[in-house]
Each structure stands twice: as structure tokens, then as C-alpha cells.
Chains A and B, each alone.
Chain A
Amino acid sequence: GIQVEQSPPDLILQEGANSTLRCNFSDSVNNLQWFHQNPWGQLINLFYIPSGTKQNGRLSATTVATERYSLLYISSSQTTDSGVYFCAVPAKGNTPLVFGKGTRLSVIA
């Protein structure tokens, strides 16, 4: 099945710093989603981005479908950005999402 790899696995930032998280996937996809899991376990959908670039406040995401990767940018990080960031793609077509192992981000004041 499709493989989803995220890097780095862990990241520690000073408040105000910028960061880039990467998601590689092993096959072509028509759907890619980024999520943030807060320290209480809630998973929030950040972006639905099968291709192109989207921005939402301090966060933006770019997916280059032809090269099978996606990037999540966090600018001017805040302590509330801490948590685990997941990307997910369908195993095939419109099948359920397969998740990467995540990037654990810690933002320190």
C-alpha cells in the first residue's frame, strides 16, 4: 500500500521562529490533508490540499503532486502551535486516509 513519511519526527522551536514540515508519499494521490493534534488529543483539519498552495493565517501548505511531496510552513510560531502534525493521503482513489507518523512540534516561550 501507499507509504507516507513525515520529517522531521521531532522539532523544537523558539517562539517566533519559522519552520517547514515535510510529507512524502509513495504514489500519486487525489487528496492530501494536513492535521494538527493538540496536547489533549483533538485532531483539527488544517488543509485539504491535493495540489498547489493554500494559506491560512500564519500557516501555509504546498503540495507538488508530480513529485509526491507536500510541505507545511509555520511562520512566527506560537506556543499554541505545539502538538503533532500529521499528513494523510488515501490508500487508493477515494479510500480512507492513511496517516504518516507525524511531526511532534514543541514551541518554547
Chain B
Amino acid sequence: DVKVTQSSRYLVKRTGEKVFLECVQDMDHENMFWYRQDPGLGLRLIYFSYDVKMKEKGDIPEGYSVSREKKERFSLILESASTNQTSMYLCASSWQGNTIYFGEGSWLTVV
């Protein structure tokens, strides 16, 4: 079975902190994605990557950056966390144009 693992399930961070959310997949997928999910707004795409060291902005990239140094790992970085970034963050991976698999999600609270 495909496994997408997110490093932290629940986090509480202070405003202004730098936050790293890590995601690892074990199926040699080319594509990796970061979404955030908020009540009433559904899932929104933050960043995605189709290859190592490659990244593309999604619909809401402001306040975020990403890193993909290895094929299996895609990290989401909040340079200076703010309260409006309190959300659930979902990592996903897929082969090009195929079934997408999600991690369990990371619930981030910024206080």
C-alpha cells in the first residue's frame, strides 16, 4: 500500500515562529502536493512539485515556502507563523495524472 507520512499530527506554535511540516512518501511518486483545509473553504492548494528541486505555486502560496531536496520528501515551511495560518495541512503524492494519496493531516494551531 502507498504510504504518505506527515511528521506531526498536532502542533501548537507561537506567532512569528518558523514552522516546518514534513511529508514523506514511499512509492517513488513524481508529484507531491501541499493543501490546507478550512471549514467552509474546502481544500486549497498551497504548493506542488513535479520533480526534485522543482516547485510551483498553487492558489494560496503567500506566507509559505517549500523544499524538495529528495524525491520522497516534500517540506512545507511557514517562515513566520501567523494566526490566520491555523489550519489542517494535508500532504499528497501521485504519479503523473493518476490516483492521488493523502497523508493523515497535520493540525496546526498558531497562538
A residues touching B (Cβ–Cβ < 8 Å)?
A: 30-31, 33, 35, 40-45, 48, 86, 88, 90, 94, 96-102
Contact = CB atoms under 8 A, between A and B. Distances in A.
Contacts, number: 47
A41 B42 contact: no
27 contacts: A31-B97, A35-B102, A40-B104, A41-B37, A41-B88, A41-B104, A41-B105, A42-B102, A42-B104, A42-B105, A43-B90, A43-B92, A43-B102, A45-B100, A48-B98, A48-B99, A86-B42, A88-B43, A88-B100, A90-B97, A96-B31, A96-B58, A97-B100, A98-B45, A99-B42, A99-B43, A101-B42
Contacts of B40: 101
Interface residues of B, number: 23
Interface in B78-111: 88, 90, 92, 96-102, 104-105, 107
Interface of B: 31, 33, 35, 37, 40, 42-43, 45, 48, 58, 88, 90, 92, 96-102, 104-105, 107
